[in-house]
Amino acid sequence: MRFRTWLLVLALISIPGRAQQQLPVPDLHLPQPSPPAPAPGQTPAQPAASAPPPANMPGVKISAKIEPFKVHQGEVFDYLVELSWEKSKESCELEFKLPVIPTGEKIKAVGSEFESENLAKAETENVRRIYRFKYFPMAEGKQSLAQADFEYRCRGTETYYQVSAPPFPVEVLKKKIHLKDIVRSRHFRIFLLVALLAGVVSSAILLIRSRRKKAELAPAPVEKTPEENALLLLTNADQYRIAGRYPDYFLGLEQALRKYLEEKYQIRWSGRERLVDEVSKATAPDLASELDYFLKFSDRVKFAGAEPASSELDRCYQAVRRVIEFKKMEIAGGMK
């Protein structure tokens, strides 16, 4: 009796343990969190480019440089980024995009353009794509252009791959001084005007001094005597005698005699008789007859159209010349 009771107790204790071992393990499927929705104006995130590129995608190389080599403040320079790859018949067509144009802290982007170049070979084709960015440096010193991140993919696919040009250092030198800038400046125009005025004044001063110096060094002009002036007029009158213009010739003789008498003796030209009388008193009585002959014959030629002979021309000429050279003849006679 006691033994049966003991077995019953053991059976009751062992029943819950067996039931617990036979319960199946629950299969829990927790919900996965969904990615956040893109904000308005943003494109959905592209699949990560960590996956290997397609087999037909050519490898892209990138290089960068600036032109000109020396960059000066205030002068536009070019930043050239070159993408190159080798294309075969099996290669896919590449599409590129540059989400953000590289900029600098004190460098302003002012323009961009690109060009493409294809060089065909036997089995392949070398392709070069050059992006040219134009920048205006606003301050001198060491600057830097940001990294240029280009994205590319095979046409018709969705996955973009990235190739980047690292930040490019740019040393901006001092602003060049151009001649055109100097000429256009207001200060230069004022300086040029002042210099021009100073040059004119200096030239005028030098010219005045030069003329004064020449006047001091030049010999004083020798005044001609009444005799010399009268003889010069006689020489000039000879041209009319040679040309046969006898009225003009006798006018020349009278002009020479008149000038001499006014300068030498202050005798005014007057009537024939009075003039002969004044000349004979001022010179010598023996000159009166020849002078009277000359005056009468001169009137005949000028007013009556008389044709003088050669001897008459010589006699009139000598009559005038004797009056003019009377003093010289008197001195010569005195010396004798």
pLDDT digits (tens, 9 = 90+) for 245-277: 999 999 999 999 999 899 888 988 888 888 888
Question: In whole angstroms, what is the distance from residue 324 CA to residue 326 CA?
Answer: 6
168-222 pLDDT, tens digit per residue, is 999 999 988 767 667 777 877 888 889 999 999 999 999 898 888 887 776 667 7
Say what percent of the chain tops pLDDT 70.
80
Query: Is the peptide bond prior to 285 cis by the omega test (within 30 degrees of 0)?
Result: no
Mean pLDDT across the chain = 81
Q: How confident is residue 42, by pLDDT bands cut at 50, 70 and 90?
A: very low
Every domain of the chain and the residues it spans: 61-173, 226-335
Please list the residues that pair with 81 across neighbouring strands.
64, 131
- The larger pLDDT score, comparing residue 18 to residue 89, is at 89
Q: Can you give the pLDDT at residue 86?
A: 92
Q: Can you give the pLDDT at residue 286?
A: 87
Query: Given a cut of 50, is residue 19 above it in pLDDT?
Result: no
- The larger pLDDT score, comparing residue 183 to residue 117, is at 117
- The larger pLDDT score, comparing residue 11 to residue 135, is at 135
Write the CB contacts of 270 (distance below 8 Å, at least 6 apart in sequence).
Answer: 278
Mean pLDDT for the stretch of residues 311-332: 79
Q: Which of 166, 103, 170 is nearest to 140 (CA)?
A: 170
- The larger pLDDT score, comparing residue 29 to residue 328, is at 328
Query: Given a cut of 60, is residue 293 above it in pLDDT?
Result: yes
Q: How confident is residue 69, by pLDDT bands cut at 50, 70 and 90?
A: confident
Query: Given a cut of 60, is residue 230 above it in pLDDT?
Result: yes
324-335 pLDDT, tens digit per residue, is 888 644 444 444
Q: Can you give the pLDDT at residue 251?
A: 93
Query: Given a cut of 80, is residue 3 above it in pLDDT?
Result: no
- The larger pLDDT score, comparing residue 178 to residue 112, is at 112
Write the CB contacts of 195 (distance below 8 Å, at least 6 apart in sequence).
Answer: none
pTM higher than the cut 0.75: no
Task: Give the CATH fold of the 61-173 domain.
Answer: Immunoglobulin-like (2.60.40)
Q: Can you give the pLDDT at residue 218?
A: 66
At 29 the three-state DSSP class reads: coil
Q: Can you give the pLDDT at residue 327?
A: 65
- Lowest-confidence range among 30-34, 60-64, 93-97, 314-318? 30-34
Map tokens 């110096």 to a residue: 213
Q: How confident is residue 16, by pLDDT bands cut at 50, 70 and 90?
A: very low
Query: Given a cut of 80, is residue 37 above it in pLDDT?
Result: no
Q: Can you give the pLDDT at residue 223?
A: 84
Write the CB contacts of 220 (distance below 8 Å, at least 6 apart in sequence).
Answer: none
Say what percent of the chain tops pLDDT 90.
43
Query: Given a cut of 60, is residue 108 above it in pLDDT?
Result: yes
Q: Can you give the pLDDT at residue 163?
A: 93
**322 vs 11, 108, 227, 231, CA distance in Å?**
194, 103, 11, 11
Q: Can you give the pLDDT at residue 30?
A: 37
Q: Which of 308, 306, 304, 323 is nearest to 258 (CA)?
A: 323
Q: Can you give the pLDDT at residue 137?
A: 93
Q: Can you give the pLDDT at residue 270?
A: 84
Q: How confident is residue 102, by pLDDT bands cut at 50, 70 and 90?
A: very high
